[in-house]
């Protein structure tokens, strides 16, 4: 009966399908290389609301509603919402769940939330506990900077290792059974990450804090599944940024894993162009979430990518513990998403 | 294949077993009516650490380690940890997961975390995705007051509606298949709650904020399962406190649900005695968690209780949104725990 393979990975024998997905992004993200791929761009940082927090929440709600619409459903048809965000008490997810009325499991995995929600959601769907559920997350530059570092009004200078929190949201509808028959992207495995801490204490260097967790989860996944890095068309990491991506490659080499660098796609490195002054790259839950829904999933659904390891990475940064002298641990969860041919439907 | 019954409830056909459980509490909890039932009492609020946050984290780690030990296992034998807590970025759970090395899904459900983790954990075990996992949570009076209200050093007066955050932790090991053969308590159903908000804005009245969510989840559960309140020996709520419990009874009556008041056991009402000056009662993730592990689960395992609906309740209180004029939504998740006779093992 056990679907476990190895220490951290499970297989999903019913191959839950991805029924629809939606992405929202901000103006800066619109100006990046993937700007024309997002479903919707919010007009400005306030998004028609009175506060940045309300703007973020509205963005997440829109992503979820749009995701349901694209599958020709309403939020009322969705049986479960698995969501979380970067803000204290996950207020974006909690208030979105209140407004939408969908039964709700709140998650906190920092920037790993998109793959954490897909990891849990894929097991729930595969196990027959939900026919239709949505996994979603979001982040907002202005709310994250205020909470984790300093209010924007201070105009603090940012070091080269700093990343730019993406203003964006992504929502993915997962289903199993007959409702998922037409899905062109399916979930086949998931690997739950461990919390790894190599002692980074600089809250402006999240890439370095997350890279060890990313390396640990990739290594566990490849060992559990007896696969190699090259068995994936793409290994997608969340928001390591330029520095974190380099560190990940170095850490994987130390683990004697051969990395095809052209197949390692970090959403944080890709979402902004070099001239956008985003330093080490994009970050935030919304980075991996919006890039997954705007770029990666369409490529899988169309068959351009056949098999992808999607792994959002989270730095469990806490202003409180940082002030208490603690370092910043990281965590990364992975899901395998494969293209499904129409002929596979039978 | 679907295990869904009704809109919010799923059945767990493999009846995952509760393999072991452990509870930790503080000095004030020791002086309460259930003081001699906790597995371990921490010596003082600092618990041998340098900060209250570190004290809380150590308590959670101890609960998890002790829970594993009671099942004659080590933390390394545990395949998954589902945990969260009240603190920003769930630092207690995250750092405990780092130290223990168990693959970790981080949750945020405020004080509903114990039943949220059991709800997700029971589906994961029932679905064959884990043979042995631990669901755990904790809270600490000093860390919660500082983060959510005011530092204790201010000596603020507390209104009669205020509750006292329990210093405590609980950990439950859930398993399925052969490893769970000897379990005397099994999980049979779980109901995922919706986020409900009736407009409470007073951050010193969490019972009123949580009661509507508790009523909503109980009503959904009874409707989904076609059961009545009296089909349960006990309906255990997390930490509504005296005021919240009264409101829950009123709200259930409005929904035309007959409540046997002697079967409604609120951990927040029970953990402290009237002379302990805890105002409306205990609260915090650790309240339901420690009472479940110290009192409820032993009663089920021994057969004194045959069938219990366990539902921790969470107020999604955020200092940020409260200052922005938002009200406090609540959420409650439920699991059905039944006694299993030895003869049922065959």
Distance in angstroms (rounded) separating the CA atoms of residues B262 and A268: 56
Residues in A touching B110 (Cβ below 8 Å):
89
Helix (H, G, I), strand (E, B) or coil at B315: strand
Q: Which long-range contacts (CB under 8 A, 24 or more apart) does B156-160 make?
A: B158/B204, B158/B279, B159/B204, B159/B205, B159/B279, B160/B279, B160/B280
Assess B117–A contact: CB distance below 8 Å, yes or no: no
Let me know: does A132 contact A284? Beta carbons within 8 Å. Answer: no
Tell me how crowded residue A169 is: count the other CB atoms within 10 A of its CB: 40
Let me know: does A114 contact A3? Beta carbons within 8 Å. Answer: no
Assess B123–A contact: CB distance below 8 Å, yes or no: yes
Contact A104 B195 (CB under 8 A): yes
Residues in A touching B10 (Cβ below 8 Å):
129-130
What average pLDDT does range A189-200 have in this prediction?
A: 96
Let me know: does A251 contact A220? Beta carbons within 8 Å. Answer: no
Decide: residue A4, CB within 10 A, 0-12 exposed, 13-18 middle, 19+ buried.
Answer: middle
> Pairing between strand B132-139 and B80-85?
parallel
For the cut 80, the answer to whether the pLDDT of residue A344 exceeds it is no
Distance of CA A153 to CAs A146, A324, B278, Å?
A: 9, 26, 41
Write out the DSSP string of B168-226: EEEEEEEE-GGGGTT-SEEEEEEEPPPPB------TT-HHHHHHHHHHHHHHHHHHHHT
Q: What is the pTM of this model?
A: 0.98
Assess A140–B contact: CB distance below 8 Å, yes or no: no
pLDDT (tens digit per residue) in A207-265: 999 999 999 999 999 999 999 999 999 999 999 999 999 999 999 999 999 999 999 99
Let me know: does A311 contact A114? Beta carbons within 8 Å. Answer: no
For the cut 50, the answer to whether the pLDDT of residue A346 exceeds it is no
Residues in A touching B317 (Cβ below 8 Å):
89
Strand partners of residue B235: B264, B309
Residues in A touching B193 (Cβ below 8 Å):
103-104
For residue A235, what are its two tokens? 């290994």
For the cut 90, the answer to whether the pLDDT of residue A203 exceeds it is no
pLDDT (tens digit per residue) in A3-16: 999 999 999 999 99
Contact B194 A101 (CB under 8 A): yes
Contact B3 A129 (CB under 8 A): yes
ipTM rounded to 2 decimals: 0.97
Query: Which of A3, A101, A127 is most worth mutating to test chain B (most B CB atoms within 10 A of its CB)?
Result: A127
Q: Which residue of B has its CA nearest to A118?
A: B105
Residues in A touching B326 (Cβ below 8 Å):
95
For residue B127, what are its two tokens? 């679905």
Of B80, B90, B127, the CB nearest to A192: B80
For residue A308, what are its two tokens? 């992808």
Residues in A touching B8 (Cβ below 8 Å):
103
Write out the DSSP string of B109-168: -GGGHHHHHHHHHHHHHHTTS-SEEEEEEEE-HHHHHHHHT--GGG-----TT--EE--E
Query: Which of A78, A92, A98 is most worth mutating to test chain B (most B CB atoms within 10 A of its CB)?
Result: A98
Let me know: does B294 contact A27? Beta carbons within 8 Å. Answer: no
For the cut 90, the answer to whether the pLDDT of residue A94 exceeds it is yes
Q: Can you give the pLDDT at residue A149?
A: 86
Assess B29–A contact: CB distance below 8 Å, yes or no: no
Closest CA to A314 of A187, A144, A152: A144
For the cut 90, the answer to whether the pLDDT of residue A2 exceeds it is no
* Residues of chain B under the 70 pLDDT cut: 1, 343-346
Q: Which residue of B has its CA nearest to A217?
A: B103
Contact A106 B95 (CB under 8 A): no
Contact B119 A105 (CB under 8 A): yes
For residue B173, what are its two tokens? 């090991």
Query: Which of A8, A54, A76, A106 is most worth mutating to test chain B (most B CB atoms within 10 A of its CB)?
Result: A106
Of A129, A147, A193, the CB nearest to B123: A129
Distance in angstroms (rounded) separating the CA atoms of residues A237 and A333: 10
Distance in angstroms (rounded) separating the CA atoms of residues A172 and A17: 10
A vs B, Cβ pairs < 8 A, gives: 196
Q: What angle do CA B130, B125, A330 make, to 5 degrees?
A: 50
Contact A333 B194 (CB under 8 A): no
* Longest alpha-carbon distance in chain B: 60
Assess B303–A contact: CB distance below 8 Å, yes or no: no
Assess B162–A contact: CB distance below 8 Å, yes or no: no
B335 DSSP assignment: E
For residue B319, what are its two tokens? 């200092």
Tell me how crowded residue B250 is: count the other CB atoms within 10 A of its CB: 12
Distance in angstroms (rounded) separating the CA atoms of residues A58 and A168: 11
């Amino acid at each position: 009966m056990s679907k476990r393979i190895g220490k951290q990975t499970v297989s999903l024998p019913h191959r839950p399908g991805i029924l629809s997905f939606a992405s929202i992004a901000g103006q800066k993200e619109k100006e990046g290389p993937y700007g024309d791929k997002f479903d919707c761009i919010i007009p400005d940082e306030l998004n028609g609301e009175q506060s940045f927090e309300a703007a973020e929440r509205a963005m997440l709600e829109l992503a979820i509603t749009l995701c349901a619409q694209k599958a020709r459903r309403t939020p009322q048809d969705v049986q479960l919402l698995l969501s979380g965000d970067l803000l204290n008490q996950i207020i974006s997810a909690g208030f979105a769940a209140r407004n939408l009325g969908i039964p709700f499991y709140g998650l906190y995995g920092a920037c790993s939330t998109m793959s954490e929600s897909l990891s849990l959601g894929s097991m729930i769907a595969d196990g027959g506990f939900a026919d239709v559920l949505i996994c979603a997350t979001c982040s907002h530059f202005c709310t994250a900077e205020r909470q984790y570092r300093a209010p924007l009004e201070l105009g603090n200078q940012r070091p080269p290792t700093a990343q730019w929190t993406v203003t964006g949201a992504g929502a993915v509808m997962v289903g199993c059974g007959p409702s998922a028959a037409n899905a062109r992207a399916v979930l086949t495995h998931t690997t739950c990450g461990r919390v790894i801490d190599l002692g980074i204490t600089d809250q402006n260097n999240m890439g370095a804090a997350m890279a060890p967790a990313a390396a640990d989860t990739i290594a566990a996944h490849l060992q559990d599944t007896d696969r190699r890095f090259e068995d994936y068309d793409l290994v997608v990491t969340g928001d390591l940024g330029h520095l974190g991506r380099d560190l990940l490659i170095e850490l994987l080499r130390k683990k004697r894993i051969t990395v095809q660098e052209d197949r390692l796609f970090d959403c944080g490195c890709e979402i902004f162009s070099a001239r956008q002054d985003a330093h080490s790259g994009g970050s935030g839950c919304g980075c991996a979430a919006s890039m997954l829904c705007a770029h990666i999933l369409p490529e899988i659904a169309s068959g351009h990518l056949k098999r992808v390891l999607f792994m959002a990475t989270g730095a469990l940064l806490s202003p409180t513990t940082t002030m208490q002298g603690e370092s910043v641990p990281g965590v990364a969860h992975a899901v395998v998403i494969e293209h499904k041919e129409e002929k596979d439907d039978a």
